[in-house]
Amino acid sequence: MRIGVLTSGGDCPGLNAVIRGAVLKGTKIHNQSFIGIRDGWKGVVEGLTMPLDRHTVRGLGKQGGTILGTSRTNPFEGPHGGPENVQATLDRIGVDALIAIGGEGTLAAAKRLTDAGLKIVGVPKTIDNDLDATDYSFGFDTAVEIATEAIDRVRTTAESHKRCMVVEVMGRHVGWIALHAGMAAGAHAILIPEQPQSMEQICDWVQQVSDRGRAPIVVVAEGFTLNTMETAHSEKGLDAFNRPRLGGIADMLAPEIEARTGVESRATVLGHLQRGGVPSAYDRVLSTRLGMAAIDSIMREEWGTMVALRGTEVVNVPFEDAVGRLKTVPEDRYEEASILFG
Amino acid sequence: MRIGVLTSGGDCPGLNAVIRGAVLKGTKIHNQSFIGIRDGWKGVVEGLTMPLDRHTVRGLGKQGGTILGTSRTNPFEGPHGGPENVQATLDRIGVDALIAIGGEGTLAAAKRLTDAGLKIVGVPKTIDNDLDATDYSFGFDTAVEIATEAIDRVRTTAESHKRCMVVEVMGRHVGWIALHAGMAAGAHAILIPEQPQSMEQICDWVQQVSDRGRAPIVVVAEGFTLNTMETAHSEKGLDAFNRPRLGGIADMLAPEIEARTGVESRATVLGHLQRGGVPSAYDRVLSTRLGMAAIDSIMREEWGTMVALRGTEVVNVPFEDAVGRLKTVPEDRYEEASILFG
Amino acid sequence: MRIGVLTSGGDCPGLNAVIRGAVLKGTKIHNQSFIGIRDGWKGVVEGLTMPLDRHTVRGLGKQGGTILGTSRTNPFEGPHGGPENVQATLDRIGVDALIAIGGEGTLAAAKRLTDAGLKIVGVPKTIDNDLDATDYSFGFDTAVEIATEAIDRVRTTAESHKRCMVVEVMGRHVGWIALHAGMAAGAHAILIPEQPQSMEQICDWVQQVSDRGRAPIVVVAEGFTLNTMETAHSEKGLDAFNRPRLGGIADMLAPEIEARTGVESRATVLGHLQRGGVPSAYDRVLSTRLGMAAIDSIMREEWGTMVALRGTEVVNVPFEDAVGRLKTVPEDRYEEASILFG
Amino acid sequence: MRIGVLTSGGDCPGLNAVIRGAVLKGTKIHNQSFIGIRDGWKGVVEGLTMPLDRHTVRGLGKQGGTILGTSRTNPFEGPHGGPENVQATLDRIGVDALIAIGGEGTLAAAKRLTDAGLKIVGVPKTIDNDLDATDYSFGFDTAVEIATEAIDRVRTTAESHKRCMVVEVMGRHVGWIALHAGMAAGAHAILIPEQPQSMEQICDWVQQVSDRGRAPIVVVAEGFTLNTMETAHSEKGLDAFNRPRLGGIADMLAPEIEARTGVESRATVLGHLQRGGVPSAYDRVLSTRLGMAAIDSIMREEWGTMVALRGTEVVNVPFEDAVGRLKTVPEDRYEEASILFG
């Protein structure tokens, strides 16, 4: 059997370790061969491949990014998309089964393709940790670690200048990175999409900390929104909120906090720093295990499932249980973290 | 209510974060007061205390070690030991209930004391991750991360000199740190107490790697033993194994590997590096949550239980389920890792 | 003698190590006592002090920021400013001589005050490394290290997505951080204030790298400017350049590069990350030595001088040699780095 | 012209960056070609080569170790050694001139070879920083940083257990790494080969710290020796000093300190950790500049010289000024550091 491997969507620390885990177990234990599909579903649709064997994956465990490249192409779009075309392309490039490593969109596409008879096993990839069917996804731990170290760093500047620091982390729809990094770094407020807050509440937290003579640290997920149509009491503030965003939410919050509380405030947007570079040991182990489990699932012909972490075990979950549901931060976890606020 | 907190046994990254989590939730939510018991059970027996309030725990989340100090004293030994004396001392210093943060010994002692009527809740502490009743214990992730980074470092030296590097990590009775750090860093052999190996097998792995022109990396837990009474074929090797150990197991394996394979071999013993310093974000979050859960357990009067991680949840587990059983590396996890060997 | 110590201007990793070096040598060797002046020159003008002795500086070597606080107050402004008022305040709070740790503005103010008879010794502080009279200033090495690690990180994302990454680092007037971090991380273009470039040149470098199938990395100092009045060929580009900056120069360059070359481009602004946190070992050693040399200079009554690094030695330099001259990146150093471009 | 490049002696972070700097400048600016000599002088004597061009050095700046391999072979020994044989081999493999990257031994050999007419330029490599003709050598900064971080880590364990920690760092003949790491990490005693101390003095420092209720940190260079023939007052101590060393000097000091002071003491030997892994930004910049300067020296036919750092400049120094003289830690630098002791 020849197994194709693809990585799709935004890159994530641990992708290469998944690939390596699958290839090493597949070649050494199951005697299968592999082929790399380049640039995600685009490679499937267009038949872009690269060699993928034991030598290709040497030393990949600690390398960030993905050697296969990635894209946001949808395999159902375009003249060569759809199940029949994809199957034809896979036949042409000699792929018997596919390991698709990607996020919600990739898994949803994989589900539709397996429903149409294609042989696909999935590996969940979401740096935001927003897939419901797995306890944790790889890349998340690294992102939290990077964000935590960054907050640790800006804190010393904040304290020296008695400033409020607003640090923006990833999390378009869910606040897991903000929650964990904020708890780890001892933030005085954590703002996440699941829990809209008013400027009054945010400024109250900031003011409490400032009144104790300390420098307030606010961690905000990029997808956070204020819970009411706020009117800023300063021209500057208003302007920031009405203007189309060039920066992120932190760039808007910081001047507004300063205008309302009088506490000098600065924004830091971590952005791409959180996705790149050497994965944490936790993510390397998890990725390697998921990759190995993926090739095992191929051998067991568990088409239409993805591998997932449950407790300390790696299990298989049907695609339908994984897609269409966002794993949001539950109320009690936010309350737990909010004990540190203010 | 006034709650005493103690830390016992070897130090571990995250101890301070547990203390901080308990104190912050205890003071801000439950309106309880705290007192620090110094130097573990020794402080209980001798009545050594320090103030412990919201201000004491400021900034503790990222600080390694324990501000309370620690010792290996057993509360049942000595003229002031035993339940009655301990209760008397706690009454004298005004402690109504106790949070005991410690390993197997501490939890066993806490069990005997609660059986005798004392009010104690436990927080499991084992950097080796060898307690059965919790998925992971804090400190373990940091230790694995440090060990992984260390192995990454020595690998470049190994490759430049075409040497075999034997890296010794913690793990007296179980091989979790070796297993995870070895998988993360791509070790060519992982040697753990649960899986004795022969020198022949070890040297076979080393030779395979060397024959491919690469530098073999062997990760060994301090508690690993050879599976037979080996006789080394060189004077040097024999001597090393018969001599009382000044260094660790790695210091013995390296010359023996060199003598048998002809591959120049060096040992590195990580030792105390693995226990110290800033905890990883993972450990800071876990520790904070465990500390908060401990004070909640006190409020619910769940005496004789410890807090534990199960999946993504923190639960309570009776002491009797936590002590007397070592969480060893299961066979399938070792087999999974061994795919990377040789 | 009682010596006052102040830190002024933006914070910088190593400030606390300077303070610690001065206090330890001053108390242990010279038997002098110290007093901390809070919040820079503001504290001198307003008489704000804090205790500063051997115990205060315990463990400060590795702590970022400044325990004394800082401000951008000018001691010549306001009703209490000027030499006579400052001297009167120093007399009142019992300060016989002053160690002023700060940048060009601080040293210029210190010069005017010593010219008027005050007893001041300076320690140069500029994270940008832009003071001419010292080989390197503390904080610079840490900033370069942080920036280099950040560029290493974003590179993996860039390669996975075949994107151009534009990373903005500090350097309002000089490009030292960009030069060193860019060389260290292997940037394909380094843009610094001293060397204006055209969009054509920048895009040419980006295109060359992209044509080789790699992901271009552009490092830009915040003070970089294009060398001509450029007209962007896209609406988006024009808009970005005409709009008042909310983000930094990187936020403007990235869309313009993308518009001109067709290479997807992203900006990352490191900002405050570069000033905060634990200083590098290099900066800790340099800071400690400068602090010790400062108190020695006080004892030798070398008023009106600052301590400076020359080769491996710490020397004294008159204030007039240090102020009014910016240490820019020389042509040959930029040429040297530019060998790595494209 | 075709230029051979070799790396010799113990590996060092930055070797690959030197190679990359030379190759990039040589190919892009000087239009020269390169060939890699494998395994140091062994490759010269035996004619072992590998391709070395712009593509070979891609991404090498941050990679530890040396892609060329290294050995401790002396080019004057063996049947194929000596100037005539070496010249004949170089002719055979088509090498017109040689860049030799190595330590004192390599530079001494290079001197003898250039004296005999061979065309060689040197790049000094000593992680110990013990070459007199350069302010700093690459690799040293990385080693100091790693050692400093390690001492930071063990300190928290030391404080929790009120233990003395003896940390052994590299430095067979000189104490630069111990001096800088010890100053950076705030050690209470720094023991270096240049400054023998008595056990009495060492224990006095330890005792002072212990008496203040803190945990003593002793940093010792591997080449440190006691200044008198000491007789230990304990069997254990005596035994440790008389036994042939399996561990390092730290393994002998720790039990002796414990025996004499009663302060529980532990040893940590950093060993190979200090040589491996990703170079610091400082070392990457220095290495790149030295590599570029080396190829410039080749073009200027400055045979018999090595490149060196003086202040902020890279200069050429005749081999005879670089060899035969060890750059030891001067008295005043040790005195400066000793202010932190006890």
Q: Tell me the pLDDT tens digit for each residue of C114-166.
A: 999 999 999 999 999 999 899 999 999 999 999 999 999 999 999 999 999 99
Q: Residue B194: which of B167, B221, B170 has the closest Cα?
A: B221
Is the pLDDT at A51 greater than 70, yes or no?
A: yes
Residue C310: list chain D partners with CB under 8 A: 311
Bridge partners of C102, per DSSP, are: C124
**CB distance C156–A269 less than 8 Å?**
no
Residue C280: list chain A partners with CB under 8 A: none
- Binding-site residues on chain B for chain D (CB distance < 8 A): 7, 10-11, 13, 15, 63-66, 69-70, 146, 149-150, 152-162, 165, 243, 246-247, 251, 266-269, 271-273, 275-277
The dihedral formed by the CA atoms of C16, C21, C24 and C30, expressed in degrees to the nearest 10:
-140
Partner residue opposite D70 with nearest CB, options B161, B246, B268: B161
Residue A149: list chain B partners with CB under 8 A: 281
Q: Is B305 left (phi over 0), alpha (psi -120 to 50) or beta?
A: beta
**CB distance C185–D62 less than 8 Å?**
yes
Q: What share of chain B is helix, strand, coil (3-state, %, to 5)?
A: 45, 20, 40
Partner residue opposite D269 with nearest CB, options B149, B152, B269: B269
Chain A: give the shortest CA distance to residue B73, in Å.
Answer: 31
Full set of structural domains in chain A with CATH: 2-132+279-322 (3.40.50.450), 140-275 (3.40.50.460)
* D175: CB partners within 8 A, 6+ apart: D190, D191, D192, D193, D194, D195, D221, D223, D224, D328, D329, D334
- Binding-site residues on chain D for chain B (CB distance < 8 A): 7, 10-11, 13, 15, 63-66, 69-70, 146, 149-150, 152-162, 165, 240, 243, 246-247, 251, 266-269, 271-273, 275-277
Residue D324's pLDDT is 84
Mean model confidence pLDDT for chain A: 93
Bridge partners of A50, per DSSP, are: A36
Instruction: Give the Cα separation of C20 and C52 in Å (integer).
Output: 9
Neighbour tally for C325: CB within 10 Å: 13
Strand ranges in B15-142 using DSSP code E only, listed in sequence order: 33-37, 49-52, 97-102, 120-124
Q: State which amino acid sits at residue C231.
A: T
Residue C246's pLDDT is 53
Q: Residue D246: which pLDDT band, with cuts at 50, 70 and 90?
A: low
Residue C219's pLDDT is 98
The pLDDT of D117-132, averaged and rounded, is 96
The pLDDT of C239-256, averaged and rounded, is 71
Instruction: Give the Cα separation of B90 and B113 in Å (integer).
Output: 12
Q: Residue D244: which pLDDT band, with cuts at 50, 70 and 90?
A: very low
**CB distance C311–D28 less than 8 Å?**
no
Q: Any known ligand binding at A268? A: no
Q: Is B128 a catalytic residue?
A: yes
Q: Is C103 left (phi over 0), alpha (psi -120 to 50) or beta?
A: beta
Whole-prediction pTM value?
0.95
Q: Residue B248: which pLDDT band, with cuts at 50, 70 and 90?
A: confident
Cite the annotated binding site of B for ATP by residue number.
10, 72-73, 103-106
Instruction: Give the Cα separation of C269 and C271 in Å (integer).
Output: 6
Q: What is the pLDDT of residues A205-226, one digit of tens each?
A: 999 999 999 999 999 999 999 9
Residue B325's pLDDT is 86
Q: Counting Cβ atoms within 10 Å, is residue C31 exposed (0-12), middle (13-18) or buried (19+)?
A: exposed
Q: Which of C4-18, C227-241, D84-98, D254-268 is predicted least confidently?
A: C227-241
Residue D325's pLDDT is 85
Residue D235's pLDDT is 44
Instruction: Give the Cα separation of B110 and B121 in Å (integer).
Output: 8
Three-class DSSP category at B100: strand
**How many residues in chain A?**
342
List the structure tokens of B168.
């010794």
Instruction: Give the Cα separation of B97 and B298 in Å (integer).
Output: 7
Q: What is the pLDDT of residues A108-160, one digit of tens each?
A: 999 999 999 999 999 999 999 999 899 999 999 999 999 999 999 999 999 99
Cite the annotated binding site of B for Mg(2+) by residue number.
104
The pLDDT of A287-314, averaged and rounded, is 98
Asked whether the beta carbons of A37 and A120 are under 8 A apart, the reply is no
Three-class DSSP category at C321: helix
- Which strand ranges, in their side-by-side order, compose the sheet holding C313-318? C49-52, C33-37, C2-7, C97-102, C120-124, C305-310, C313-318
Q: What is the pLDDT of residues B71-107, one digit of tens each?
A: 999 999 989 999 999 999 999 999 999 999 999 999 9
Instruction: Give the Cα separation of D155 and B273 in Å (integer).
Output: 9
Residue B242's pLDDT is 43
The pLDDT of A65-69, averaged and rounded, is 96
Residue C333's pLDDT is 98
Residue C235's pLDDT is 44
Mean model confidence pLDDT for chain B: 93
Q: Which of B195-204, C173-182, C184-193, C240-249 is predicted least confidently?
A: C240-249
Q: Residue A237: which pLDDT band, with cuts at 50, 70 and 90?
A: very low
Specify the DSSP element, H or E, that contains D164: strand D164-169
Mean model confidence pLDDT for chain C: 93
Residue B7: list chain D partners with CB under 8 A: 160
Q: Residue A236: which pLDDT band, with cuts at 50, 70 and 90?
A: very low
* C37: CB partners within 8 A, 6+ apart: C4, C5, C6, C43, C44, C48, C49, C68, C95, C98
Residue B229's pLDDT is 53
Query: Which DSSP state fits B152?
Result: H
Cite the annotated binding site of B by residue number.
10, 72-73, 103-106, 126-128, 163, 170-172, 222, 266, 272-275
Angle at B261 between CA B258 and CA B262, to 5 degrees: 60
**CB distance B153–D277 less than 8 Å?**
yes
Bridge partners of D100, per DSSP, are: D6, D122
Q: Residue A240: which pLDDT band, with cuts at 50, 70 and 90?
A: very low
Q: What is the pLDDT of residues D283-331, one digit of tens each?
A: 999 999 999 999 999 999 999 999 999 999 999 999 999 888 899 999 9
The pLDDT of A240-253, averaged and rounded, is 68
Residue A162: list chain C partners with CB under 8 A: 69
List the structure tokens of B240.
């090393």
Q: What is the pLDDT of residues C5-51, one digit of tens each?
A: 999 999 999 999 999 999 999 999 999 999 999 999 999 999 999 99
Distances (CA, A) of D136 to A6, A97, B229, D9, D219: 47, 56, 50, 18, 21
Handedness of CA A231, A237, A243, A244 (dihedral sign): negative
Chain B: give the shortest CA distance to residue D18, in Å.
Answer: 15
Q: Residue B324: which pLDDT band, with cuts at 50, 70 and 90?
A: confident
Partner residue opposite D184 with nearest CB, options C29, C61, C185: C61
- Which strand ranges, in their side-by-side order, compose the sheet holding C189-191? C189-191, C217-221, C164-169, C265-269
* A130: CB partners within 8 A, 6+ apart: A104, A173, A174, A176, A326, A327, A328
Is the pLDDT at D232 greater than 70, yes or no?
A: no
Q: Residue A231: which pLDDT band, with cuts at 50, 70 and 90?
A: very low
Is the pLDDT at B264 greater than 80, yes or no?
A: yes
Q: In angstroms, how far apart are the furthest CA atoms of chain B?
A: 69
Residue B247's pLDDT is 65
Q: DSSP assignment of B276-304, as one string?
A: -SSPPHHHHHHHHHHHHHHHHHHHTT-TT
Residue C242's pLDDT is 43
Residue C247's pLDDT is 65
Is the pLDDT at A235 greater than 80, yes or no?
A: no
Instruction: Give the Cα separation of B326 and C3 in Å (integer).
Output: 59
